[in-house]
């Protein structure tokens, strides 16, 4: 592994940030297609701009998913060979750059003290000082700062992986006069002080408290659903209204490895208290779209991401699995964050495929953060730009883009559109009875696309081609049967995207 002095790396990052700034200023200003209003109406412009930029990413053709790596809790991880936060930073960020030539776009930290080790209430006081300069420097270079708080138990002083004592309720921490509330407010004041430092330095923060709220391993996972909403809103109101912190983007983060149900939906605090819906998912299979389909609906209208992912070293895991599943099943995800090296090494650096992941055209790394790019033009199936031949049924369907679909299972039926650009993407529904269609560009056969999938999901990118000559092109999609695994030959055309 090449050894590069850290001082030279800092120079490189500063120059990279300058280049990004110059390029950003050179791009003509234009509104994003789906600006998302922050939950806090007083959100600082630099934080609101970050949210707008994240909300735009799913519409890009490439460089559309921010790479991320969790680095360390405040106290380092001496038991895993990283006694300080700087040691963890060197392993997860600097050595990943040495290996791949790229710096991640998002870095994660945790202000907790002694989360596993327990300790007294005083020893569990949150602390930002061991990582805040690293985080600020990265933000100054264009990176995104993501903070997760594994809060200690205010009822017992135990670590996050504990329970609420019998006879007590979660709502007590939001109830003035209770012992739990007195302890909680001491810690919450320390959290506010730490976040204030970031606001004073104009650092936007993705703030993720009470994550994996639908599991049973953290103390905040116990208690009733209304109690959880009360506690979330209490923290939100205290940090935003009482303490005036306007640099926060609030990430609500369920664990998608758990069954979907009211423990998830009834614990959603409301759109006025959430900016980002960020899922936690470990393992090599990411194909369950129940959570994704529910929260990507217009009812919520939030930026989506994977706030924790991880693959176990030595189990055949490959870092590219995460991105490939995003491409195939979760195209609206704006970012992913790998967890750190522990007794199981979940990090990007610790798994095969790191270089492939970091250098994939979809991956958006530090040198590309904040850069505006032209967005593709969308041509909906119901647009007059489309012409159809053969048997098609055109109807309304809320699962499709713009609420319309064009469906056929007749071999030889075709759909055609003309566009001006150098790249093209076709979106359709994928389902167990999905069929195939052949793609012709300017009269020449290019490839076959298959809409069969074990799971049923809509708005899937089923064909993409770049490198076309600049100018006008005509694309024709011709239905052509199905693969042997499919129970039918149905094609549900949704839209084209080109640029």
Q: Which DSSP string corresponds to 40-65?
A: STT--HHHHHHHHHHHHGGG-SSS-E
Q: Are 188 and 129 in contact (CB under 8 A)?
A: no
Count: domains in the chain = 2
Q: Are residues 99 and 246 in the same domain?
A: yes
pLDDT of residue 16: 39
- Token pair for 29: 């200003």
pLDDT of residue 122: 67
DSSP structural state of residue 143: P
Quote the distance between the C-alpha of residue 198 and its chain's center. 22
pLDDT of residue 117: 52
Q: Are residues 292 and 401 in the same domain?
A: no
Q: Is residue 107 part of a domain?
A: yes
The end-to-end CA distance of the chain, in Å, is 39
Q: Are residues 434 and 313 in the same domain?
A: no
The closest alpha carbon to 426, from 486, 346, 495, belongs to: 495
Task: Look at strands 414-420 and 377-380 and give their pairing.
Answer: unpaired
What is the CATH number for 281?
3.20.20.80
Q: Is residue 336 part of a domain?
A: yes
pLDDT of residue 402: 87
Quote the distance between the C-alpha of residue 104 and its chain's center. 13
- Taking only Cα atoms into account, the Rg of the chain, rounded to an integer number of angstroms, comes to 24
Q: Are residues 191 and 74 in the same domain?
A: yes
CA distances to 98, 100, 101 from 2, in Å: 6, 11, 11
pLDDT of residue 33: 39
pLDDT of residue 6: 36
Q: Are residues 319 and 355 in the same domain?
A: yes
What is the CATH number for 472?
2.60.120.260
pLDDT of residue 120: 63
Q: Is residue 42 part of a domain?
A: yes
Q: Is residue 1 part of a domain?
A: no
pLDDT of residue 4: 34
pLDDT of residue 374: 76
pLDDT of residue 375: 79
For 207-273, give the DSSP string: EEES-STTSSSSGGGSS-HHHHHHHHHHHHHIIIIIS---SEEEEE--BTTSPPSHHHHTT---GGG
pLDDT of residue 316: 55
Boundary (domain end) residue, out of 340, 368, 396: 368
Residue 458 belongs to domain spanning: 377-498
Residue stretches of the chain with pLDDT short of 70: 1-34, 114-122, 285, 312-317, 372
Q: How far apart are CA 169 and CA 225, in angstroms?
A: 11
Cite the active site residues: 212, 308
Q: Are residues 360 and 381 in the same domain?
A: no
Element (H, E) at 12: helix 6-26
Residue ranges of alpha helices (H) inside 296-425 are 320-329, 354-358
The closest alpha carbon to 98, from 107, 89, 109, belongs to: 89
Q: Are residues 204 and 349 in the same domain?
A: yes
Q: Are residues 349 and 427 in the same domain?
A: no
CA distances to 70, 88, 91, 108, 264 from 342, in Å: 11, 11, 12, 15, 28
Is 457 in a helix, a strand, or coil? Answer: strand
Q: What region, left, alpha or beta, does residue 46 occupy, with left being phi > 0 and alpha being psi -120 to 50 degrees? A: alpha
Q: pTM to 2 decimals?
A: 0.83
- Token pair for 395: 């109807």
Q: Is residue 205 part of a domain?
A: yes
Q: Is residue 400 part of a domain?
A: yes
Q: Are residues 362 and 413 in the same domain?
A: no
DSSP structural state of residue 173: G
Boundary (domain end) residue, out of 342, 368, 394: 368
Q: Are residues 363 and 402 in the same domain?
A: no
Q: Are residues 172 and 151 in the same domain?
A: yes
Q: Is residue 270 part of a domain?
A: yes
Boundary (domain end) residue, out of 339, 368, 397: 368
CA distances to 16, 157, 334, 362, 485 from 192, in Å: 31, 19, 27, 35, 55
Q: Is residue 253 part of a domain?
A: yes
Q: Are residues 338 and 381 in the same domain?
A: no
Q: Are 317 and 284 in contact (CB under 8 A)?
A: yes
Residue ranges of alpha helices (H) inside 311-378 are 320-329, 354-358
């Amino acid at each position: 592994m090449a050894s590069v002095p850290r001082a030279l790396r800092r120079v490189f990052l500063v120059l990279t940030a300058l280049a990004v700034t110059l390029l950003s200023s050179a791009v003509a200003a234009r509104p994003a297609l789906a600006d998302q209003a922050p939950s806090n109406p007083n959100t600082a412009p630099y934080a609101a701009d970050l949210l707008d930029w994240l909300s735009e990413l799913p519409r890009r053709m490439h460089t559309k998913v921010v790479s991320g790596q969790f680095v360390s809790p405040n106290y380092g991880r001496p038991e895993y060979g990283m006694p300080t936060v700087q040691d963890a930073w060197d392993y997860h960020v600097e050595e990943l750059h040495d290996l791949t030539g790229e710096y991640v776009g998002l870095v994660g930290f945790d202000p907790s003290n002694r989360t596993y080790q327990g300790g007294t209430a005083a020893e569990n006081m949150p602390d930002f000082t061991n990582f805040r300069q690293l985080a600020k420097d990265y933000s100054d270079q264009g990176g995104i700062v993501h903070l997760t708080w594994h809060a200690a138990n205010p009822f017992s002083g135990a670590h996050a992986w504990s329970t609420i004592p019998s006879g007590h309720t979660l709502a007590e921490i939001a109830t003035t006069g209770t012992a739990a509330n007195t302890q909680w407010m001491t810690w919450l004041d320390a959290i506010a002080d730490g976040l204030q430092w970031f606001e004073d330095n104009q650092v936007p923060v993705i703030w993720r408290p009470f994550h994996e709220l639908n599991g049973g391993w953290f103390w905040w996972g116990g208690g009733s659903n209304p109690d959880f909403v009360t506690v979330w809103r209490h923290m939100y109101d205290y940090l935003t209204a009482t303490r005036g912190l306007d640099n926060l983007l609030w990430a609500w983060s369920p664990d998608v490895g758990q069954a979907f149900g009211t423990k998830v939906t009834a614990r959603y605090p409301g759109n006025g208290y959430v900016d980002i819906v960020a899922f936690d998912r470990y393992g090599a299979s990411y194909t369950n779209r129940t959570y994704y389909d529910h929260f990507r609906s217009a009812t919520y209208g939030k930026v989506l991401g994977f706030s924790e992912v991880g693959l176990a070293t030595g189990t055949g895991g490959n870092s590219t699995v995460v991105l490939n599943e995003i491409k195939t099943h979760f195209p609206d995800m704006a970012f992913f964050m790998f967890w750190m090296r522990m007794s199981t090494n979940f990090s990007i650096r610790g798994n095969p495929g790191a270089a492939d992941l970091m250098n994939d055209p979809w991956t958006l790394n530090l040198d590309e953060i904040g850069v505006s790019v032209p967005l593709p033009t969308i041509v909906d199936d119901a647009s007059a730009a489309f012409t159809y031949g053969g048997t098609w049924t055109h109807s309304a369907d809320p699962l499709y883009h713009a609420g319309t679909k064009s469906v056929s299972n007749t071999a030889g039926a075709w759909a055609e559109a003309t566009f001006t650009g150098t790249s093209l993407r076709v979106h359709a529904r994928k389902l167990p009875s999905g069929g195939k269609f052949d793609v012709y560009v300017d009269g020449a056969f290019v490839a076959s696309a298959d809409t069969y999938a074990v799971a049923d999901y809509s708005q899937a990118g089923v064909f993409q081609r770049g490198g076309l000559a600049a100018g006008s092109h005509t694309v024709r999609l011709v239905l052509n049967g199905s693969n042997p695994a499919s129970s039918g030959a149905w094609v549900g055309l949704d839209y084209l995207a080109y640029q």
